[in-house]
Structure 1
Amino acid sequence: MSATPSALPSTSNSLDAHAIFATLAGLCGSLVAIGLARFAYTPLIPSLIQAHWFTSSQAVTLGAANFAGYLIGALIGRPLASALTNRRALRMLMVVVTAAFFACAYPLSVSWFFFWRLLSGISGGAIMVLVATSILPHIPAPRRGFVSGMIFLGLGLGIAASGTLIPRLLHFGLQTAWTGLGVLALVLTAVSWFGWPSANPPAPVVASHDAHAHGHGNLRLRVLYGQYAANALGLVPAMVLLVDYVARGLGRGAALGANYWVLYGLAAIVGPVICGNVADRIGFGRAYRIGLVLQGVAVALLALSANAYVLAAATVILGMFTCGIVPLVLGRVHELVPHDHVEQRAAWSRATTAFALFQAIGGYGYSYLFSHTHNNYALIFACGATALAFAFVADLAVAAVAKGRAAKA
């Protein structure tokens, strides 16, 4: 008899077996759909080119296909779940991502590969929207920070795997590497299969005073979307240039640059769990504000200092928040839209779309700026720090507006 968490308890502060199983399913989902489908592609690019599967420009285009698909998936996730139910949608999306890994083991044509990379991105974006919002409404409120951190732990595991698992698989060839990723995704899909809650969260009953409060929360939500978009602009410089900055910009070699990436990946693993637990204690809004400050300082340090210890500290902070901001922003959405699971999912979908869009814009924009300023690393990092500073100031401004409204009410 399978463990089917049809109704996860929400009256106790402890997590029972059903809640733990659902959390494990969420971790598997984020690991397969984002951790592996996105981050495992980067270390495969040199081999794809060297094996003459694709040219360098084609390999970059195929990488961008996943980002484009992620945007589409963030938009269609909610309608898909409404049509199929959360459980069926998540199962289907996991199967699609798994199939994409196996399909990419056969480079039949550029269009074939592009189609499957796009499809894996669509599935990843939809899973990102659905995975936590399908599980957290069934979790006791005091434990949601911990559970959301565990769910998005898969992102950090994917970054770490990109620097450890892929090189080992590549010893056996490209086709074996893609097939190995497919087998791993298949195992994780099987583990998660019965963990997804069998029913969508109950329809909310919103009292009149809640509706009034939600009206005041609209401004905070819109600002949160902008903050999350700015956060993407703040993180992209380190995600794209950190290794190259250490290796070429500082002239310390590719080996040391790779060591910094390993440090970044290790921090990404613990980031969601640490951020989620801190938010459970001090609140998601306050935790995210602190996170914006720490990220801004870390990116600024990359622009201002070449000291090895300073770079290591900045790398750890940025690695933590690359994945750690996800449970923080998701939890903030739940704080701003309490008791309304439908609107929570809608707000999270909009936030995810904003992040994905500006992550793509930042990637291409910074690349253009970098190439047209003679590889000015400091300028790129300064742009990222400025974006995070704007996000922090916006948070202070909306808090002041909300306080003024409350005083007048």
Structure 2
Amino acid sequence: MTRPLIAPALAGAAATCSGIGLARFAYVPLFPAMVAAGWVDGAGAGLLGAINLTGYLIGALSAPRVGRALSIPRALDAGMALAALAAACCAWQGGLAWLGLWRCLAGVAGGVLMGLTGPAVQSVVAAQRRGVAGGIVLLGVGSGITLGALLVPALVGYGVPAAWLGLSATTVVLWLAARRFWPAPPVAPAAQMHGGLPPVGRLVLSYGLSGAGLVPPMVYLADFAARGHGLGVRAGGLMWVVFGIGAVSGSLAGGALADRLGGRRAMVVALSVQVVALGTALLPGVAWLVVSGLLSGVAAVGVTSVALAAARERAGAQAGVVWVRTTAAFAVAQAATGFAMAAIFGATGESHAAIFAVGLLLSVLSMAVAMVDRPTSA
């Protein structure tokens, strides 16, 4: 039975806003602030970003099991609670190990929320509105990125702990507003959940490579502006606002593009934007970095939106299973690349250009895989 589009889609948007936009991406404008405050050095801050990506992998892999054990609404409650708790605990300067633990758990929360929300919302709305519904759910990511980019610079003037506590409180407010509208899809029979799937190997590979290529802007963009270009912490926060504006645009455009072109062709278009985004970051001048930040935001959420549509397009009722696999591939690639980027960043004397160049190469590979993909491919 389908439900009206708006209520479950907006509830899903609140979940992705909290679990991804705030719990994950609000760390980006906090990166240079934490370094400036002496909480961590640049390499340590990059390591915390990689640890968060590892937590996201754990959450994405465990999402189906958590959803079956608790029900989708209760699993979403658990994810929101963990996201709020993790942010609050990061308000104490307990050292790298303490911050790493809670950044990992924030990633777990984000992985659970991302792994469950999109397919759950799509399963309770009319088939012809699923692309739009997925776009609205992912609009939460862009909105959360923008919200975090505005909140963090405003709060960090009162200290790094104030920024973390503000993120925690915002998550609680979003949770209370959304929880009565959580989607509650019927539980799929075990045979349906574990039966044969259509071939989606290239979709999974392309989406994973896309995630790897997006690590530089997702972790280092604000620091690139703040320290790489010498513009300061406030300018780094503003750069993340630009990324958030792009992410909002990408979430809306991705869903509409998938409805019009289909998931596969829309994937190629979205990945071409990602390639341009990573390439422009390597051009000299702040103006090109602004362009890169905007297009990176468009790609970061637009690619996810069209990949979600492609999973539904190919797998139908088993889209949740396919989505978990694609999300897991994205998370594995980002976690591995995150640690590699942290090592490269330290080994090159904190060279932002080096890690953005690696991101460009990975993005090109992702687009190449998408271009040769077909729904019938293995």
Map 1:125-136; keep pairs closer than 5 Å. Answer: 125-136=111-122
Residue number among 274, 290, 294 corresponding to 1:316 in the alignment:
294
- Deviation of 1:75 after TM superposition, in Å, equals 1.0
Letter in 1 for 2:311: V
Residue number among 270, 284, 287 corresponding to 1:291 in the alignment:
270
| Contact 2:19–2:106 under 8 Å retained in 1 | yes
SS state of the match for residue 214, structure 2?
A: helix
Distance in 2 (CA, whole Å) between partners of 1:168 and 1:256 is 12
Aligned pair in 2 of structure 1 residues 103, 203: CA closer, same or farther (>3 Å)? same
- Deviation of 1:363 after TM superposition, in Å, equals 2.5
* 1:112-170 alpha-carbon deviations (Å, 9 max, x no partner): 54443332221211111001111111111221111111111122122223321112223
Distance in 2 (CA, whole Å) between partners of 1:248 and 1:103 is 27
Whether 2:344 is the aligned partner of 1:366: answer: no
- Deviation of 1:183 after TM superposition, in Å, equals 2.0
| Contact 2:57–2:335 under 8 Å retained in 1 | no
SS state of the match for residue 200, structure 1?
A: coil
User: Which residue number corresponds to residue 215 of structure 2?
Assistant: 236
Letter in 2 for 1:177: A
More RCO (CA 8 Å, sep 6+):
2
Distance in 1 (CA, whole Å) between partners of 2:82 and 2:163 is 18
Note the aligned Cα RMSD (angstroms).
3.1
Distance in 2 (CA, whole Å) between partners of 1:173 and 1:389 is 40
- Deviation of 1:355 after TM superposition, in Å, equals 0.9
- Deviation of 1:194 after TM superposition, in Å, equals 1.1
User: Which residue number corresponds to residue 347 of structure 1?
Assistant: 322
| Contact 1:137–1:201 under 8 Å retained in 2 | no
Aligned pair in 2 of structure 1 residues 298, 98: CA closer, same or farther (>3 Å)? closer
Residue number among 125, 134, 138 corresponding to 1:148 in the alignment:
134
Letter in 2 for 1:318: S
Map 1:325-340; keep pairs closer than 5 Å. Answer: 325-338=303-316, 340=317
User: Which residue number corresponds to residue 391 of structure 1?
Assistant: 366
- Deviation of 1:109 after TM superposition, in Å, equals 6.8
Aligned pair in 2 of structure 1 residues 133, 311: CA closer, same or farther (>3 Å)? same
Aligned pair in 2 of structure 1 residues 144, 48: CA closer, same or farther (>3 Å)? same
User: Which residue number corresponds to residue 104 of structure 2?
Assistant: 118
- Deviation of 1:364 after TM superposition, in Å, equals 2.8
* 1:315-372 alpha-carbon deviations (Å, 9 max, x no partner): 322221112211111111111112x2xx322211111111112112223323434554
Gaps of 5+ in 2: none
| Contact 2:120–2:183 under 8 Å retained in 1 | yes
Distance in 1 (CA, whole Å) between partners of 2:357 and 2:54 is 27
User: Which residue number corresponds to residue 251 of structure 2?
Assistant: 272
Number of residue pairs aligned between Structure 1 and Structure 2: 374
- Deviation of 1:181 after TM superposition, in Å, equals 2.1
| Contact 2:17–2:145 under 8 Å retained in 1 | no
Aligned pair in 2 of structure 1 residues 68, 312: CA closer, same or farther (>3 Å)? closer
Aligned pair in 2 of structure 1 residues 247, 332: CA closer, same or farther (>3 Å)? same
Distance in 2 (CA, whole Å) between partners of 1:120 and 1:75 is 15
SS state of the match for residue 193, structure 1?
A: helix
Distance in 2 (CA, whole Å) between partners of 1:129 and 1:350 is 9
- Deviation of 1:270 after TM superposition, in Å, equals 2.0
Aligned pair in 2 of structure 1 residues 195, 29: CA closer, same or farther (>3 Å)? same
Letter in 2 for 1:301: T
Residue number among 66, 76, 79 corresponding to 1:93 in the alignment:
79
SS state of the match for residue 356, structure 1?
A: helix
Whether 2:55 is the aligned partner of 1:69: answer: yes
Aligned pair in 2 of structure 1 residues 294, 280: CA closer, same or farther (>3 Å)? same
SS state of the match for residue 194, structure 1?
A: helix
Aligned pair in 2 of structure 1 residues 309, 168: CA closer, same or farther (>3 Å)? closer
Q: Percent identity?
A: 32
- Deviation of 1:94 after TM superposition, in Å, equals 1.4
Aligned pair in 2 of structure 1 residues 167, 348: CA closer, same or farther (>3 Å)? same
Distance in 1 (CA, whole Å) between partners of 2:11 and 2:191 is 28
Gaps of 5+ in 1: 1-6, 10-15
Distance in 2 (CA, whole Å) between partners of 1:290 and 1:45 is 31
Q: TM-score, normalised by structure 2?
A: 0.86
Letter in 1 for 2:2: L
User: Which residue number corresponds to residue 177 of structure 1?
Assistant: 163
| Contact 1:86–1:200 under 8 Å retained in 2 | no
SS state of the match for residue 172, structure 1?
A: coil
| Contact 2:206–2:366 under 8 Å retained in 1 | yes
- Deviation of 1:253 after TM superposition, in Å, equals 3.6
Distance in 1 (CA, whole Å) between partners of 2:271 and 2:119 is 24
- Deviation of 1:275 after TM superposition, in Å, equals 1.2
| Contact 2:53–2:338 under 8 Å retained in 1 | no
* 1:8-58 alpha-carbon deviations (Å, 9 max, x no partner): 34xxxxxx3xx3111111011011111111122333345556666x44366
Letter in 2 for 1:95: A
